[in-house]
Each structure stands twice: as C-alpha cells, then as structure tokens.
Structure 1
Amino acid sequence: MADKPVVGFIGTGVMGKSMASHIKKGGHELLVYNRTKGKAEELLNQGAVWCNTVAELAEKSDVIITIVGYPHDVEEIYLGEEGILAHVRQGANLIDMTTSNPQLSKKIYDVAKDKGVGCLDAPVSGGDIGAKEARLAIMVGGDEDTFKEVYPILSLMGQNIQHQGPAGSGQYTKMANQIAIASTMMGVAESLAYAKKAGLDQKKVLDSISTGAAGSFSLSNLGPRMIDGNFEPGFYIKHFIKDMKIALESAETMGLHTPGLALAKKLYEELTEKGEDDSGTHAIYKYYINQ
C-alpha cells in the first residue's frame, strides 16, 4: 500500500466530519459519501471528493472508514448488494468505527477475509470534543497486522489507540466503555441537580469536585453544559440507547446482570418519550431538574 493511501470515509455526522477532516489534513486523498450530501459540504470545501454511491467509494479507496448510526446501517453498507464488500479492491483495508454489535463485526470480518481484505472494528470514545481535537480513544478488534498497517491513519484521529484482540474485541471494549458512562452520567446529573436544590453555586461545586475522587470526563466536559442548559449533542441519546441495548443483550448472553445499565436505559427511554432523541446524552440532567 502506498505511503498515503486513498481513504474513503462514509458517515460525516457530528463526529465523522471532524475525523475525516483530520485525515484530509494528514495529506491523504479523501473520498466521502453520506446519505445527506449537505453534511459533507464542509469536507468538500476542504478538497474532499464526493462519491455518489457506497460502491463507487469502495472501488476507488485503499482504506475505507465507516461511522454510521445503527447496526442495520453497518450491515447494509458492508454486506448489501451495492455495499462495500461487493465492490472493494482486494488488499484494501476496512475500518468500521461505528459502535455496533460484536457478532456483526465478526461476520463482516469473515466475509472480508475470504475476499482478501483486511477488516477492523474500531469504535471510538470522546464525543464531539475528542473528534474535533483528534484525541479520541480508539478500541480495535481484528488482525494485528492490519492494525499496524492502518495505525498511521488511526493516529490522525485519536491518541489512545489500543488493539484489544480478534474481530469483535473493539466492540466488546466499547460496550464496557458505555456501561461505565451510563451510570457515571446518572451520577453527574444527580450531583448537579442536588447542588442546585441545595441552593449552591453549581459552577463552584463543579470546580471543587471535578479535581477530586468524583472527577471524570463526563463531569468536567458535560457538567458545564448541563449547568448552562446547552443540550446540543456531542453524542445523541438515540444512539446511546442503541449502545445500551447491545450491551445489555451481550451481557445477558454472558450471564452477567447489569442493574446500573438497565436503570440508565430506562431513564433515557423516558427522555425519548418526551422528544429528547436528538439531544446530547447529558440531557439526562433534565430528568432530575424537571421533577
């Protein structure tokens, strides 16, 4: 593969747009496809090349990166008749950065391997901030040789990049991440709602507790947004619920009881019933403050 492989990027939403931009700035020819072309305009203005179909992008790319909404989107994009694996070049490498089902990742890997194509599942954590600042945590499953080959591209988007094991391992690691976030987000929202009810200055409280044992990414980065009433999405509630469903299903398969995760999913589903599907995950604060 050339020193600067041609990268095809599918999914230019809240996070994908920034991630693709870093690849372009890293000197790669960048091809993009998104269901809504308008969401790719910023990248096109930076010199990215638009592809009209997934098939067109697959045929022209050395490395293909996807970050889309749901497992059914991943399955269609990779395994559909006009999908990536029907048109990809032999010797290319595929990197799915969607948070998806570990079993689906293994299925895609097997099909890719039969075609002589490298394939990684590489979900990320860090939200819109991490994507913009190119400091995402990237959790990778798949063959180590493929991981090493595409590492320079991954390093353009993140800082903490770990090969976790065989196909599906990246998704299992991301589920562990989401389980930790689910209960943490409840704790942050409860803490700040409690401070407000007690008549405290929430920002001063945040300054005090964010550097102590309670410190976390959610507290430091999303706590201020809660206080300011800014619930724009760094990560959508609807996508977080999808992740929690996957985590619960896989935990049940392993015989693991996860009551904290189940409670978080229940609270977030109550928010979606109130029209908060497209709000950021930190909008769980509304559950407490609007009681």
Structure 2
Amino acid sequence: MLQIKDTIIGFIGTGVIGKSMAGHLLDAGYPLVVYSRTKEKANDLIAKGAKWAKSPKEVAEKANVIITIVGYPADVEEVYLGENGIIPNGRENTYVIDMTTSTPTLASKIYSEANKKGIFALDAPVSGGDIGAKEARLSIMVGGDEEAFLAMEQLFKHLGTNIIYQGKAGSGQHTKMCNQIAIASNMIGVCEAIKYAEKAGLDPETVLKSISTGAAGSWSLSNLAPRMIAGNFAPGFYIKHFIKDINIALQEADAMGMVTPGLALAKKMYKELAELGEENSGTQALYKYWDR
C-alpha cells in the first residue's frame, strides 16, 4: 500500500465536485499536481499548495496516483488515451482512477490499455453531489482489480464514506448507471410532490417535515427539495451532465434488451429544459418543468 510520503497525486478536473475532492487530499497531506482545462478553476488549490501541470501528460510524468473527474466520455478518452494522455505517458506501477461518470465500455478499454503498460486502472464514479464532495461523504463505486482497489481504499476514505468494490473493470460505471436510473424517476416524483403541495395551498417546507422522514424519504427529497422551494437552482450537478448520464444508461440498457420507461421520460423532460436554456442549472431545476 502506498504511504503518503511515497505518493504524489495527480488530479485532473477541478469543477464543482473535483475541486472539493482535491482539497480533501491536500488537507490529508498528499502532495498534489493539478490540471484543468480552465486554470482559474484550480487557483484555490494552487493557493493551498497544489502544483500546476500544463497537460495530462505532465501529470502522468509527475504523479504515481492519478485521479480524474471530467465532463464527458469523450473527455475521458482524450485524457487517458490521447497522444498527450495519461496512459501513453504514464509510468509502470502508477494507479489511475477515473471518477467521472462515463461508459462501462470505455472503462474496460482504459483498463486493458493500462494493463499493457503495467498501470493499475480503476473506474470509481461517485454519487452525493456538491454536498457529498464538500463533506467528504461521497458514495464511491469501484470497478477493476480487487488488489488495486485495496491499495487505494485508504485514499478513497478521504473522499467518501460509502466505498464499495463492485467487481471487474466497468462494474463501477454499471453501478453508477443504477444510481442514475433510480435518481431520474425519483426526481420527477420529488418535483411533482412539491408542486402539488404548492397547488394545494400548503406550506411546502412544512410538508417536507412530514414526508422526508417517512416512506417517501430520499436523498433528493431531503437535499434538493429545499433548494427548489428556495428558488436555488445553482448546480450541485449540472443538467447537461445528467442528460449525458441518462443517455449512457439508455444505451447500456438497450444493449441488454431492457426497456426503461422511467428513464426515457426523465430524458424527455430534462432535454426540454436544456433546450430552454437550463443546461447549466442543477438537476433540481426540473422543478421548473411545470412552469413552462
């Protein structure tokens, strides 16, 4: 197992969630090398002691544990497999951990290419949004070799509290699809419930006190419904990224011959909102669907 004194962590992607995650690793004492397409997003981390890298290639040359959490599968592929990417420029015995929500197929491809170079690859997408990231309470779903997972488990504990090894490469991403499928239909129900309360002349905050701890309770009801009521639609997780996740889940389900009507409805609703200019709002902005 790598010790802090032997570990230099490379962190690629310092957005809403990644920035908090990288901060926790700095606070834990790990030397950190960061890269983001927009350097300004990494300025706070640099001010806390992180070193700036100009490319994924430079990160790969300096770090022996590399964590990525970027936007889309195309970004993941470029960061890992592009000419200036991690795998072509990485060193033997490096651990690479993609925590982006991406495709199981790509996770397996990265694992295979990493294995050829003696690099250990894990797919470890997260759930918990900006709150979970800030409070280091993320749920982390891990795929890859179990030995690599065990070597990185202590590091994961600086980022989350529900850390579970799911199986071979791609299993973390498949598990994240299960997570997103459950959230998609649940979010529709949460929004409908709040809208119903308002239409009925009830105080939605008082209604929440009753229903959030009963059988209707969910993470979205407890954490995102209060934001809806307050008119706070800032992104803990962007609508545009949720649509990306829904599309991945729909494609994977179709490949397995599975029908997902709840997921299809969620895609339709979120797509309509995105077309109205809400793509950079948080997923709780689905609440606005009834106000069109």
Q: What is the TM-score when the length of structure 1 is the normalising length?
A: 0.99
Q: Which runs of 5+ in 1 are unaligned?
A: none
CA distance in 2, matches of 1:202, 1:163: 39
Matched residues, number: 290
**Aligned residue in 1 for 2:158:** 156
CA distance in 1, matches of 2:210, 2:41: 39
CA distance in 1, matches of 2:220, 2:235: 13
Letter in 1 for 2:212: S
CA distance in 2, matches of 1:70, 1:219: 27
CA distance in 2, matches of 1:74, 1:190: 35
Calculate percent identity across the aligned residue pairs: 63
CA distance in 1, matches of 2:184, 2:55: 36
Does structure 1 conserve the Cα–Cα contact (< 8 Å) formed by 2:2 and 2:151? no
DSSP-derived class of the 1:120 partner: strand
**Aligned residue in 1 for 2:3:** 3
Structure 1 stretch displaced more, 92-101 or 2-11: 2-11
Q: How does 1:127-146 map to 2 (within 5 A)?
A: 127-146=129-148
**Aligned residue in 2 for 1:75:** 77
State whether structure 2 residue 237 is matched by structure 1 residue 231. no
* Residues 214-261 of structure 1: per-residue CA shift (max 9 Å, x gap): 000000000000000000000000000000000000001001100000
The CA RMSD measured in Å over matched residues stands at 0.7
CA distance in 1, matches of 2:115, 2:56: 20
DSSP-derived class of the 1:219 partner: helix
* Residues 37-61 of structure 1: per-residue CA shift (max 9 Å, x gap): 0000110111111011111111110
Q: Which runs of 5+ in 2 are unaligned?
A: none
**Aligned residue in 2 for 1:179:** 181
CA distance in 2, matches of 1:152, 1:263: 39
CA distance in 2, matches of 1:53, 1:174: 28
Q: How does 1:256-271 map to 2 (within 5 A)?
A: 256-271=258-273
Q: What is the TM-score when the length of structure 2 is the normalising length?
A: 0.98
State whether structure 2 residue 205 is matched by structure 1 residue 203. yes
Q: 1:142 to 1:29 in 2, by over 3 A?
A: same
**Aligned residue in 1 for 2:97:** 95
**Aligned residue in 1 for 2:112:** 110
Shift of 1:152: 1.1
**Aligned residue in 2 for 1:19:** 21
**Aligned residue in 2 for 1:220:** 222
DSSP-derived class of the 1:275 partner: helix
**Which of the numbers 251, 254, 262 marks the counterpart of 2:253?**
251
Shift of 1:2: 4.3
CA distance in 2, matches of 1:277, 1:74: 20
**Aligned residue in 2 for 1:61:** 63
DSSP-derived class of the 2:182 partner: helix
